[in-house]
Structure 1
Amino acid sequence: MKVNGKTVLLTGGSAGIGREIARQLKAKGASVILTGRDPSRLDTMRAEGFEAIAADLSNAAGVDALVAALGDRPIDILINNAGLGVPHDVRSEMPDPDAADGCLYANLSAPVRLISALLPRLRARPEAAIINVTSGLAIAPNTASSVYCASKAGLRSFTMALRAQLAGEPIHVIEALPPLVDTQMTAGRGKNKMPPEECARQIIAALENGHDEANVGMVKVLRAVYSLSPALARKIMRRL
């Protein structure tokens, strides 16, 4: 798909991977509408020439408000990038169930609800695309982020089913699986993180080249290990 001239709705576009996706798509000639929760970051993106909509996607009301704010404008590409991370490890302390609910909604329910709301206008375009950003942890979970891993695994499963449902229609369904990327969410975690600029570049390349998956960076290695031995892949990831 050529992104020049396309209208993109990008959730979670004011920081991290999303911010770099927005910048790179704009540089290629796309019109990007982005969402975020932090007012100062949204203002920064507006100063760069983006339309930015404040949206809390951790609940149904927030998703519905975003759809209402879009009005009836056409959308060519929907990128479900917004996500929440939450610690959930019963070995250290009892987790916060409300925080877990918010994580599950933002990472899984919100993309499903947003796709359902916007599918008619995507179907109305000559060609369209949906990109769901999951994670390498959707393939094999680590130990400390059990709820986050579950939400991304759920979105991975939904994405594969949606792709099959839309087979034959001019809507390309893509799953993007980043590795550990240097963002605010991963601050203080791990080493050798991928720069968000490179992660964004590989996701956009998958869109432009018609790939069903963007296995970014070390996720390519994880996919290869998993194809040979799922048990080994899970063992490796549990150590992280």
Structure 2
Amino acid sequence: MKLDGKTILLTGGSAGIGKELALQLRAKGAEVVITGRNPERLAAMREEGFEAIAADLSNATGVDALIAEWGQRPLDILINNAGQLVDHDFRKAAPDPDAADDCIYANLNAPIRLTAGLMEHLKARPKATIVNVTSGLAIAPAARTPVYCATKSALRFYTLGLREQLKDTNIQVIEALPPVVDTQMNDGNPMKKMPAEECARQILVAIEKCRDEANIGMTKALRIAESISPSLAKNITLRF
């Protein structure tokens, strides 16, 4: 897909992978509208010339407000990138169930609700794309973040089913599976991290080349391990 002139809604676009995606997409000539929750980051993106919508996607009210604000504008590409990582490790302390609920909604329910709410906008375009950003941990989980892994795995299966439903339409459905990326979300992760700029670049390539999946960085190796032995892949990631 040629990105020049395309209108894109990118959730979670004020930091990390999302910010890098916004910059790279704009460099390709796309009109990028981003969402986020942090007022300072949103203001910084506005100073860089982006339209930035404040949106809390951890609940239905926030998602519906975003859909309403979008209105009847055209939409060529929807990128469901926003996500939360919740600490849910009983080995350290009793987890906060409310934080888990927010994570589940933001990572899973919000992309589903946003996709449903904007589907007619996408169908109205000659060619459209939905990009769901999951994770290498959608393939095999890490023990310390079971809620995050569960949401990303669920979003992966939603993406697979949605792609099958839309295979004979004008809408392509892409899944991007990043490895551990050097973002604020992964500040406490001791693993080697991919630069957010490179992760965004590889997602961009998948969009331009109309690939169904973008297995990024170490996720490629994890996919190979999983194809050989699911238990091997699981044993690799559960240690982290």
Q: TM-score, normalised by structure 2?
A: 0.99
> How far does residue 151 in structure 1 lie from its aligned partner after superposition?
0.4
Deviation at 1:92, TM superposition (A): 2.1
Runs of 5+ consecutive residues of structure 1 not aligned to the other structure? none
TM-superposed deviation, 1:89: 1.3
Q: Distance in 2 between matches of 1:82 and 1:229?
A: 31
- Superimposed CA distance per residue, residues 68-89 of structure 1 (whole angstroms, 9 cap, x where no aligned partner): 1111101100000000000111
> Secondary structure of 2:227's partner?
helix
Q: Deviations over 1:127-175 (max 9, x none)?
A: 0000000000000001000000000000000000000000110101000
Q: Deviations over 1:43-65 (max 9, x none)?
A: 11111110000000000000001
Say which SS state the counterpart of residue 131 (structure 2) adopts: strand
| Whole-angstrom CA distance in 2 between matches of 1:232 and 1:225 | 6
Task: Tell me the amino acid that sits aligned with residue 167 of structure 2.
Answer: A
Output the CA distance in 1 between the equivalents of 2:93 and 2:51. 41
- Matches of 2:188 and 2:151, distance apart in 1: 22
Aligned residue identity for 1:14: S
RMSD across aligned positions (CA): 0.6
Once the two structures are TM-superposed, the CA of residue 191 in structure 1 deviates from its matched residue by 3.3
1:20 Cα offset (Å) = 0.2
Query: Cα distance, 1:27 vs. partner?
Result: 0.2
The alpha-carbon deviation at position 91 of structure 1 amounts to 2.1
Cα displacement (A) at 1:188: 2.3
Residue 201 of structure 1 aligns to which amino acid in structure 2? R
SS of residue in 2 equivalent to 1:82: coil
User: 2:80 maps to which residue?
Assistant: 80
* Partners of 1:187 and 1:214 in 2: CA distance: 24
Distance 1:219 1:190 in 2: 17
Structure-1 separation of matches of 2:121 and 2:17: 26
* Percentage of identical aligned residues: 64
Alignment-derived partner of residue 190 in structure 1: 190
Q: Which residue of 1 aligns with 2:10?
A: 10
| Distance (whole Å) between structure 2 residues aligned to residue 30 and residue 181 of structure 1 | 24
Q: Classify the secondary structure of the residue corresponding to 1:132.
A: strand
What is the rounded CA distance, in whole Å, between the counterparts of 1:67 and 1:59 in structure 2? 13
Residue 108 (str. 1) matches residue 108 (str. 2): yes
Please say if 1:90 is aligned against 2:90.
Answer: yes
* Cα displacement (A) at 1:231: 0.4
How far apart are the structure 2 equivalents of 1:151 and 1:43?
A: 29
The one-letter code sitting in structure 2 at the alignment partner of 1:9 is: L
| Match of residue 122 from structure 1 | 122
| Deviations 1:1-59 (CA, angstroms, capped at 9, x unpaired) | 11110000000000000000000000000000000000110011111110000000000
Q: Which runs of 4+ in 1 moved over 6 A?
A: none
What secondary structure sits across from 1:92 in the alignment?
coil
